[in-house]
Amino acid sequence: MRIVRDIAWRISFWRNTKNSPSQTINFLRRSQYFDRDTIKEYQLENVNRLIRLVKSASPFYKEHLKGQDGFLSEIEGLQQLPLITKEEIQGNYSDIELPCLEGRSFIHSTSGSTGDPIVTKLSSKAQAFRTAGHYRFYEWWGLRPHDRNILVWAKKATVSDSPSLLTSLRRKIREYLVEPQLFIDVFQLSSNSINHHFEKALAHRPVYIRGYLSGVLQFAELIDSSGLDGRALNLKLAIVTSEVLHTEQREFIERVLGCPVANEYGAAETGQLGFECPEGNMHLFEESVAAFSLEDQSLVVTEFHNDHAPFINYVNNDLVNLSTDTCPCGRTSRLIKSISGRIGDFVIADNGEKVSPYLFYYAMKELGDIGYPEAVIKYKAIQTGPNIELILVKGPQYCTEAEEYIGKRIRNSLGASTSIEWRFVDQIPREKSGKLRFFVQLTPDYSPTGAS
Enumerate binding residues for Zn ion (CB under 5 A).
277, 279, 281, 327, 329, 331
d(CA 217, CA 429): 15
Residue 330 C-beta: closest distance to Zn ion, Å: 7
Residue 34 C-beta: closest distance to Zn ion, Å: 14
Give the residue among 206, 171, 400, 170 at the shortest CA–CA distance from 216: 206
Residue 264 C-beta: closest distance to Zn ion, Å: 14
Element (H, E) at 139: helix 124-140
**Cβ neighbour number for residue 436 with a 10 Å cutoff:** 20
Residue 139 C-beta: closest distance to Zn ion, Å: 13
**Strands 289-293 and 298-303, how do they pair?**
antiparallel
Query: Toward Zn ion, which CB reaches closer, 330 or 429?
Result: 330
Query: Toward Zn ion, which CB reaches closer, 233 or 284?
Result: 284
Q: Angle at the Cα of 18 (from 16 to 24), degrees rounded to 5?
A: 100
Query: Toward Zn ion, which CB reaches closer, 70 or 280?
Result: 280
d(CA 400, CA 411): 16
Residue 263 C-beta: closest distance to Zn ion, Å: 12
Residue 283 C-beta: closest distance to Zn ion, Å: 6
Query: Toward Zn ion, which CB reaches closer, 322 or 355?
Result: 322
Residue 329 C-beta: closest distance to Zn ion, Å: 3
Phi, psi for 132 (deg, rounded to 5): -70, -35
Q: Which residues pair with 331 in a beta bridge?
A: none
Query: Toward Zn ion, which CB reaches closer, 337 or 354?
Result: 337
Residue 336 C-beta: closest distance to Zn ion, Å: 11
Contact 113, 172 (CB under 8 A): no
d(CA 312, CA 300): 9
Query: Toward Zn ion, which CB reaches closer, 30 or 66?
Result: 30
- Looking at beta carbons, which pairs linking 364-368 to residues 24 or more positions away fall under 8 Å? 364/406, 366/405, 366/409, 367/402, 367/405, 367/406
Burial of 67 (0-12, 13-18, 19+ CB in 10 A): exposed
Query: Toward Zn ion, which CB reaches closer, 313 or 333?
Result: 333
Query: Toward Zn ion, which CB reaches closer, 53 or 329?
Result: 329
d(CA 19, CA 145): 18
Contact 345, 134 (CB under 8 A): no
